[in-house]
Chains A and B, each alone.
Chain A
Amino acid sequence: MSFTKKIGSRLLRQGLVAAALTMAALAPAKAETIKVGVILTYSGRDAALGEQIDRAINLFSKLHASELPPGVKIELVKRDDTGVNPSLAKRLAQELVLRDHVQILTGGQWTPNAMAIAALTKEAKVPFVTMTAGGSTVTQQSPYVVRTGWTLWQTSYPLGEWAAKQGWKTAYTVVSDFAPGYDGEAAFTKSFTEGGGKIVGSVRIPLATTDYLPYFQKVKDTNPDVVYVFNPGGPQATAFMKAFDDIGITKSKIKLIGPLDITSDEELPNMGRSALGVVTLGQYSPAATRKANADFIAAWKKEYGANSVPTYFAVAGWDGMQAIYDAINAQKGNAQKGIIDPDAMMKFLRGWSDPNSPRGPIKIDQQGDLVQNLYLRRVEEKDGHLANIEFATIGPIGDPWKVFNKK
């Protein structure tokens, strides 16, 4: 190349660099983004439940975007754990933290998955707002975990007390074979036997089962006064109810009770009349008449159609997002620089309260569990379709298991 051409190209390069730097300096400040990793089940048999939580998260983000500190945006990074799969959930959480640099983790649909993710947060120091995992020990895995759902002890322990008070003497427990099932079985057994009842049989049904009839035949043959049932809700709740109907238990004198999962609201139309009269204990029913719920249902139906029903899964997601947004607002200065202080966030969350959740007043206690009201409900027909109608309130209570197992 000739001498002049060499000088020319060097000048050109330097000029371009100078121009680029000037433009960068003069560019308007862009919004700081807080990345939130969401690990839910988006495929497989139980994807319906993950979809409920996902919809609540999306709706909340849409309606409350303006409530974030000025200049702050939230980016949701979603990953599919495909079901109960703790090793996959842990790997996804690892990738989210190390590769995608998320500052907050949420989702945590299943107890085994949430346990794996929670154990990771201890080392990673990333706040984890687990939404629907129901096993009591999840919040003990690390100081960076809080829960905005419920625990099986919350929804099963008072049920045993109530069942004993109804005068029922014998009970059979039927639970799905994984951690929340064991919790529910233990909680109900403890309170029912303390109330004077006797457990005449118990069975744990593997999660992968599709044919429940042999198990339920045995329940029918034992002829207990009441059957305590737990399954993860969603399509499995309908499968259980249909099997109970097929075996003849729903029409017999045997009573069916359990935590709210077994009469999952979005599945009630599929269960049909076989579910009538089933009593459950739970923290949320879409039929509740409080104003916060009326607003929530109206917003939901506007977004997702008049036939869509938000369930307790959706509300857990909704409240989880409220907690995250409140925590970010509490750290306005940090958030506007794109940083989240994990310890400050945890201090805020363990003591956070919301009097206006669709499920009633809630708060998070020092153990990271949600303290809330529990409602006794019965499946009844209202306006031509089935709903869980609340007839009594218990609480507010935290997680009874922590009370019995104070370290």
Chain B
Amino acid sequence: MTTAITILFFGVAYGMILYLISVGLSVTMGLMGFVNLAHGVFAMLGGYVTVTLMNRLGVPFLPSLAAGCVLVAALGFVLERTLYRHLYGRSELDQVLFSFGLILVSVAIVRIAWGPLAQPIQLPDYLKGQVTILHLTLPAYRVALVGFATAVISGLWFVFDRTLFGARIRAAVDNRAMAQSIGINTSRLFAGTFGLGTGLAALGGGLGADVLAISPTYPLDYIVYFLIVVAVGGLGDIRGPFVAALAIGLADTACHYVVPQAGSIFIFAFVFIVLIWRPNGIMRRR
């Protein structure tokens, strides 16, 4: 029984990291209709900033995470204003080519700046080892991860459901033309949302540095997982990807425990079946 709970816990932790990174992509794709394959770049940069501040300058973990988040969100905002906005009306192929090109450029720049090796992350002592909660011995880092991610996700859902900004985003996702005609400045909304999405991705990248290793090929290695979360969860939604990410995290983790020889086949089989059943994602009706 304890084993089942522990596996559940690991799966949830993994799923939450995937969610944090992918939710921004879901919103951007749903809101702006933009196929942004380069979303993983922002998660990677968040990871690099966090790890560099911690390892080189000895900045504590949480401030490093915050710094990574803020810096990358700012970068995302700038890139949206300067590069992305020129491609909104274009065909999907153009957008895919652009974002893929952006991936390749980032990979090269990161490799020059930080070298080709994966970044080792030296966790602070209070995050190493294990903690015992309710008779369960769990890795301290994963516990902190789940706790922190829960707080961030709750905050995100609050912003989406209860604030004007969130309402505007939901309106623009549902019907952009209508939203524009009632006076919502969609152009500024896109920039702000893009910044939010990339900031979250950076947070996920930094927080999950132990689970998804930070290396120059990060955007290429994990893009499939982010796209799976978005495809299964549904575009433009923030609840759907949560269910999808948790499902994937749990399925992958359980599979590695029970049938390690199967590798990651299970995830892809799972995605295949879900998409046949619900082509627009788990939660979306339309």
**How far is B111's CA from A239's CA once the two chains are assembled, in angstroms?**
21
Given A47-B117, A48-B117, A206-B263: A245 in contact with B129 (beta carbons within 8 A)? yes
**How far is B7's CA from A270's CA once the two chains are assembled, in angstroms?**
27
- A213 touches B (CB below 8 Å): yes
- B181 touches A (CB below 8 Å): no
In whole Å, how far is B279's beta carbon from the nearest beta carbon of chain A? 29
Interface size on A, residues (CB 8 A): 30
In whole Å, how far is B7's beta carbon from the nearest beta carbon of chain A? 6
Complex interface residues of chain A between 194 and 251 (CB less than 8 A to chain B) = 203-206, 208-211, 213-215, 217-218, 221, 235, 238-239, 242, 245-248, 251
- Is B261's CB under 8 angstroms from A210's CB? no
**How far is B39's CA from A150's CA once the two chains are assembled, in angstroms?**
43
- Is A203's CB under 8 angstroms from B260's CB? yes
- Is A270's CB under 8 angstroms from B215's CB? no
- A393 touches B (CB below 8 Å): no
Nearest A residue to B261, CB-CB: A204
- B14 touches A (CB below 8 Å): yes
Instruction: Identify which of A47, A208, A210, A235 contacts B120 (C-beta below 8 A).
Output: A235
- Is A213's CB under 8 angstroms from B120's CB? no
Specify which chain B residues have a CB less than 8 angstroms from the CB of A239 in the assembled complex.
213
**How far is B129's CA from A248's CA once the two chains are assembled, in angstroms?**
7
Extra A-B contacts (18), CB below 8 Å, given A43-B116, A239-B213, A248-B130: A44-B215, A45-B213, A203-B260, A204-B260, A204-B261, A211-B14, A213-B10, A213-B142, A214-B253, A215-B260, A218-B257, A235-B117, A238-B120, A246-B139, A246-B141, A248-B137, A270-B120, A270-B122
- Is B6's CB under 8 angstroms from A47's CB? no
Q: Mark A250-261, 1 if CB is under 8 A from B, else 0.
A: 010000000000
In whole Å, how far is A396's beta carbon from the nearest beta carbon of chain B? 34
Nearest A residue to B222, CB-CB: A210
In whole Å, how far is B124's beta carbon from the nearest beta carbon of chain A? 12
- Is A210's CB under 8 angstroms from B117's CB? no
Complex interface residues of chain B between 29 and 56 (CB less than 8 A to chain A) = none
- B217 touches A (CB below 8 Å): yes
Given A221-B3, A247-B139, A248-B137: A45 in contact with B256 (beta carbons within 8 A)? no
- Is B118's CB under 8 angstroms from A45's CB? yes
Most chain B Cβ neighbours within 10 Å, of A47, A204, A206, A211: A211
Specify which chain B residues have a CB less than 8 angstroms from the CB of A352 in the assembled complex.
none
Most chain A Cβ neighbours within 10 Å, of B117, B122, B137, B221: B117
In whole Å, how far is B123's beta carbon from the nearest beta carbon of chain A? 9
Q: Mark A334-377, 1 if CB is under 8 A from B, else 0.
A: 00000000000000000000000000000000000000000000
Specify which chain A residues have a CB less than 8 angstroms from the CB of B264 in the assembled complex.
206
**How far is B111's CA from A211's CA once the two chains are assembled, in angstroms?**
23
- A182 touches B (CB below 8 Å): no
Instruction: Identify which of B7, B117, B118, B215 contacts A214 (C-beta below 8 A).
Output: B7
**How far is B90's CA from A52's CA once the two chains are assembled, in angstroms?**
47
